[in-house]
Amino acid sequence: MIEVMSARGLAAGRRAGRFVGDTLDTLRSRVTVGTNLLEIDQWAAELIAAAGAVSCYVDYAPPFGRGPFGKVICTSVNDAVLHGLPHDYALRDGDLISLDFAVSVDGCVADAATSFVVGERVDPQDQRMIEVTRTALDAGIAAARPGARVGDISHAVGAVLRSAGYRVNTDFGGHGVGSTMHQDPHIPNDGRPGRGLRLQPGLLLAIEPWVMLDTDELITDADGWTLRSATGCRTAHSEHTVAITESGAEILTPHE
């Protein structure tokens, strides 16, 4: 399904996006050495309840997961890159964590992710990975304009990731959002320009570059959800939801 949002739907998307971005910033400010992943999930659940939002994850049960997910945020640590199921783990100095968060507000979804290192022991390779995913995200957003195609976004993202020396997995990537979290079009993190759906005002897209340090192969954790690097290497993930407008892409989920 591909939805083109009305002005009312876009207004709801902006409210959802602000909440998602603000929540990621709030969680990031609270997370420190010793924070348990289950605490992060509880904090996120409390913020959702206070805002009257609806979690997109807690009841989510797609074919690729062992659903329902049962938590309200993805917490992917170190070699985990996507769909990290919160569990009883206290973060250590130097851990690299990715938070991926999506909610619905007034019937419209926004989805975003951020990666950062906990504590003082920051590995330069981790910081570079994080910065590259953010640069790739910026490139993808710049390519998302009316009349362009999905392949233009994919190509822009992939060019940044590949030029930085990372291998690119295209099984999981960006996607459309609207009244539900995962919609067409699929937006791979690499591709050929000029291919795919032509973009038009009213489309909401989640663009999400992610990389693993030395591989493009994933393995699924025993929890049935968490996707990890096949080699055990570190990973990073950045994501924004954007709205296609007449003048280009509007970021709906601003966060640090």
Could you report the per-residue pLDDT of 95-141, keeping only the tens digit for each? Answer: 999 999 999 999 999 999 999 999 999 999 999 999 999 999 999 99
With contact defined as beta carbons under 8 Å apart, do 92 and 32 qualify? Answer: no
102 Cβ neighbours under 8 A, 6+ residues apart: 20, 55, 56, 57, 109, 110, 111, 112, 177, 181
- Architecture of 7-251 per CATH? Alpha-Beta Complex (3.90)
- Hey, what amino acid is at 2? I
How far is residue 169's CA from residue 166's CA, in Å, rounded to a whole number? 10
d(CA 63, CA 202): 28
Sorted by sequence, the CB contacts under 8 Å of residue 238 that are 6+ apart come out as 113, 114, 115, 130, 133, 134, 136, 137, 208, 209, 210
The pTM score is 0.96
Contact 206, 17 (CB under 8 A): no
Mean of pLDDT values over 203-228:
98
